[in-house]
Amino acid sequence: MNFLAELSHNRIFMSAALGWLVAQVLKTMIYTIINKQFVAERMVGGGGMPSSHSSTVCALAVATGMEYGGGSFEFAIAAMLAIIVMYDAMGVRRETGIQGRVLNEMLEIFTNMGKEISAEAKLKELVGHTPLQVLMGAILGILIALITGNII
């Protein structure tokens, strides 16, 4: 069996990949509905509802637990990775987004004062997640792993 065929039958990988994909599609749809504007970057970008990072790592952890059991070292690694990623999304990455928003507002003030500011100077604001976005991503990932575990 070739690599791609084996990968497509790997329940753990497929759960995690599907967790990411579904979250990114939902994130793009929610953004489009709220802002009345389609932005293709939302399909691959960070931040927003639901957290695709949380969805991915929770799907990974649950699928790993289903495959190897809750007492396995594989599950322990996947669960700790999920905790670290979700904590980081609500902490450092969220603060980075808030700082980006504040700095962009400062750049806007300087621009209005007649200062030349390049378009490249604008910082990304959608980087981290609120606790609700992380929770929704986690629930989505868990559901995807449970569904995928019964399908594949």
pLDDT digits (tens, 9 = 90+) for 84-112: 999 888 877 666 766 777 777 777 776 77
Q: Which residue has the tokens 């604001």?
A: 125
Q: How many Å apart are CA 18 and CA 60, to the nearest integer?
A: 10
Mean pLDDT of the chain: 86
Q: What is the model's pLDDT at position 44?
A: 86
Q: Are 81 and 138 in contact (CB under 8 A)?
A: no
Would you say the C-alpha torsion 65, 9, 136, 47 has a positive or negative sign? positive
pLDDT at 96: 72
Q: Average the pLDDT over each of 2-11, 65-74, 81-90, 114-123 and give the range with the smallest value.
A: 114-123
Spatial contact of 141 and 58, defined as CB atoms under 8 Å apart = yes
Residue with the larger pLDDT of the pair 119 and 47: 47
Q: Reply yes or no: is the peptide bond before residue 50 cis, omega within 30 of 0.
A: yes
Higher pLDDT, 149 or 109: 149
Residue 22 has pLDDT above 60, yes or no: yes
49-79: pLDDT as tens digits:
899 999 999 999 999 999 999 999 999 999 9
pTM: 0.77
> From the CA atom positions of the chain, what is the Rg in Å?
19
Could you give the percent of the chain with pLDDT greater than 70?
A: 83
What type of residue is 9?
A: H
According to DSSP, residue 59 is labeled: H
Average confidence (pLDDT) over 138-144: 96
